[in-house]
Amino acid sequence: MSTTIDPRAAVEEGAQIGAGCIIGPFAVIGADVVLGPGCEVGAHAVVQGPCQMGEANRIFPFASLGTAPQDLGYRGESTELRIGSHNTFREFVTINRGTAKGGGVTRIGDHNLFMAYCHVAHDCQIGSRVVMANAATLAGHVAVEDDAILGGLSAVHQFARVGTHAILGGGTMAPLDVPPYMMAAGNHANLHGINVRGLARRGFSRDTITQIKRTYRLLFRSGLRLEEAMEEVARRGWNTPEVERLLSFIRASRRGITRP
């Protein structure tokens, strides 16, 4: 695999470019950047460091990855952006490094799609197979679990979480945690039931989806306090891995849970 670097690109000394990478015209690669094999950096894109990424990532023109965090408390500390493999960053995507007070690392998993104009702020932790549609925005310290989908122009408040297989509708403003498997929409966000179609598409069995539906109704539609409802779920023996994950997510919440 041969590496191709356009002569008009600016690759600083110290950057490590993997085999088979393609660096387009006027791209800028910083000294503390490590690109894995087969990565593609489009024209005018910027990758600053410290930034380390795996293989076969595609960075489209004018994207900006690994720049300093937009945090008034940042004082130039050495922080990082770590990216897995097979991610796509479309035009004008911006992703910042971490901050010292937030753990120092912004982290992105594998096989994610960031459509044009998305923003991922400092110290965010993003899993794998996440889709952020055009102009979706994450404030600092946000966690997005595997297989979540964020609709266009949606935004997630700092320190909030989006659970696995959750979906946020376009334009959603999410100040609180959005539980796994749920659909949320609105400003401010409300839950609108289970992401049934998405779960079925991803191979969840009918029995599993039914169990999640029953749990949702008990948690959010029964009139019980949330703590009482979770105890009732346990008493009824609804203990599939998916239900357990949902309950664990709720118990771990610090910002509070989005509700119907």
Tell which of 141, 162, 191 closes a domain.
141
Q: Is the pLDDT of residue 98 over 80?
A: yes
Assigned domain for 239 exists: yes
Q: How does pLDDT run across 17-42, given as a tens digit for each residue?
A: 999 999 999 999 999 999 999 999 99
Domain count along the chain:
2
With vertex at residue 52, the alpha carbon angle to CA 7 and CA 61, rounded to the nearest 5 degrees, is 45
Q: Domain range spanning residue 113?
A: 4-141
Among residues of the chain, what percentage have pLDDT more than 70? 100
For residue 249, CA distances in Å to 54, 104, 163, 229 come to 29, 24, 7, 14
Cβ-based neighbour number of residue 257 at 10 Å: 18
Mean pLDDT across the stretch 204-231? Answer: 96
Tell which of 141, 174, 190 closes a domain.
141
Assigned domain for 178 exists: no
**How high does pLDDT run on average in the chain?**
97
Asked, as a colleague might, if the bond just before 122 is cis with ω within 30 of 0, I would say no
Which are the catalytic amino acids? 122-123, 140
Q: How does pLDDT run across 41-73, given as a tens digit for each residue?
A: 999 999 999 999 999 999 999 999 999 999 999
Tell which of 93, 119, 141 closes a domain.
141
Q: Is the pTM of this model over 0.95?
A: yes
Q: Which helix (H) or strand (E) holds 16?
A: strand 16-17
Mean pLDDT across the stretch 119-126? Answer: 98
Which three-class secondary structure state does DSSP give residue 158?
Answer: coil
Which three-class secondary structure state does DSSP give residue 198?
Answer: helix
What span, in angstroms and rounded, lies between the C-alpha atoms of 199 and 217?
Answer: 17
Mean pLDDT across the stretch 87-97? Answer: 98
The CATH code of the domain that includes 51 is: 2.160.10.10
pLDDT of residue 1: 77
